[in-house]
Amino acid sequence: MIRSKIAGIGMYIPDKLVTNNDLSKMMDTTDEWIQERTGIRERYYADRKAETTATMGMEAARVAIQRAGLTPQDIDFLIFATLSPDYYFPGCGVLVQRGLQMKEIGALDIRNQCSGFVYALSVADQYVKTGTYKNILVIGSEKHSFGLDFSTRGRNISVIFGDGAGAVVLQPTEKEDQGILSTHLHSDGESAELLAMYNPGTHANHWVDRELADFDEAENGQMFMSHAMIDKAQNFPFMDGPAVFKKAVVKFPEVIMEALTANGLVASDLRLLITHQANLRISQYVQHMMNLRDDQVHNNIQKYGNTTAASVPIALCEAWEEGKIKRGDLICLAVFGSGFTWGSALLRW
């Protein structure tokens, strides 16, 4: 039986450290509030000019590819997950194909926000298992700092997010005790507007009525982006934090249990659970619900903030670099985010 194994993993964190106190100089917030509600102490921001979501993704990819014992020319398919792409279109995948001078391989972009990496991993897994591709590069990368509202108006979101990238190379293995056992993906679009960036977009207020009713019909109906949208901060993400929190703490345990049950395993079999680093309080609640010890989870949101599609591969890479993961260990990756979308992947390292 063929499964996909992680043959190489890498991460990239930009240099610019931004503490909670740094943010409190830009908006009405405090280190105490941010740490108490989210667990975050600091995060890193990309260089505004020199670094993009694609270039950070390439940095992480270079490490993953080299650790897999490959060169970029050996990769035969790539998948890029992000919510902060370099361009509205084309996606970041082709920029990586160009930047790493890869062959003319397929480059797929995934738009599943915080769930993006597990969605991407799931797609890659199917290609590997069916024998379609042998070396698939999966990247999650975000440059949030370029699109946040750093005034007090945006403080509930801006304090949470950070920049960074993670990447893995998937390869086939026939070993019984290695590889991805299963992936589980879900969505519920009922609350799509509760965690979203509405513009640029083509909705013309069809779905979004909050504060937009007074928009000029012609302007709003015919443009991706208008001055009025910018005046109303529609070019920044919107989040109903408490609603996200409530749904996340239900869906995380549910989808982790789904993965374990599908494979006849239980939580105590886990060497490590890596949840999307949305909020330390959410991760701690999930740990408690799953009855896991501290050494069975890896959280790093304190250092990096929420890096959305990059958070799971960064946490996985860091845990591996710290020696927390050994060959054959059972690992569960679990994600939840905008959409709402959620999912899990259960694997043996």
Active site residues: 114, 276, 306
Q: Strands, E, within the chain: which ranges?
A: 3-12, 16-19, 42-45, 77-81, 106-110, 136-142, 164-173, 179-187, 195-196, 238-239, 272-275, 330-337, 341-348
Looking at 26-34, 128-136, 137-145, 228-236, which segment touches ligand COA (CB under 6 A)? Answer: 26-34
Instruction: Count the site residues for ligand COA by CB under 6 A.
Output: 22
* CB closer to ligand COA, 128 vs 310: 310
If one asks whether residue 159 binds ligand COA (CB under 6 A), the answer comes out as: yes
Token pair recorded at residue 255: 């989808």
If one asks whether residue 37 binds ligand COA (CB under 6 A), the answer comes out as: yes
Q: Strands, E, within 67-211: which ranges?
A: 77-81, 106-110, 136-142, 164-173, 179-187, 195-196
If one asks whether residue 306 binds ligand COA (CB under 6 A), the answer comes out as: yes
* Cα-Cα-Cα-Cα dihedral sign, residues 19, 296, 270, 10: positive
Using CB under 6 A as the binding rule, the residues of this chain from 52 to 111 that contact ligand COA are none
* CB closer to ligand COA, 156 vs 205: 156
Q: If we measure between CA atoms, which residue out of 54, 181, 56, 185 comes closest to residue 112? A: 185
* CB closer to ligand COA, 23 vs 61: 23
Please return the burial class of 217, using the count of CB atoms within 10 Å of its CB with bins 0-12, 13-18 and 19+: exposed
Cβ-closest position to ligand COA: 241
If one asks whether residue 299 binds ligand COA (CB under 6 A), the answer comes out as: no
Q: Which residues contact 232 (CB under 8 A, 6 or more apart)?
A: 211, 212
If one asks whether residue 40 binds ligand COA (CB under 6 A), the answer comes out as: no
How far apart, in Å, are the Cα atoms of 158 and each of 81, 135, 300? Answer: 21, 36, 18
Nearest distance, CB of residue 276 and ligand COA, angstroms: 6
Question: What does the per-residue mask of binding to ligand COA show for 105-134, with x meaning CB under 6 A?
Answer: ---------x--------------------
* CB closer to ligand COA, 150 vs 245: 245
Q: How many other C-beta atoms are found inside a 10 Å radius of the C-beta of residue 256?
A: 24
Token pair recorded at residue 73: 């020319």
If one asks whether residue 147 binds ligand COA (CB under 6 A), the answer comes out as: no
If one asks whether residue 244 binds ligand COA (CB under 6 A), the answer comes out as: yes
Nearest distance, CB of residue 192 and ligand COA, angstroms: 13
If one asks whether residue 41 binds ligand COA (CB under 6 A), the answer comes out as: no
How many angstroms separate the CA atoms of 284 and 307, rounded?
18
If one asks whether residue 309 binds ligand COA (CB under 6 A), the answer comes out as: no
| Chain residues that interact with ligand COA, rule: CB under 6 A | 29, 33-34, 37-38, 114, 155-156, 159, 195, 239, 241-242, 244-245, 248, 278-279, 282, 306, 336-337
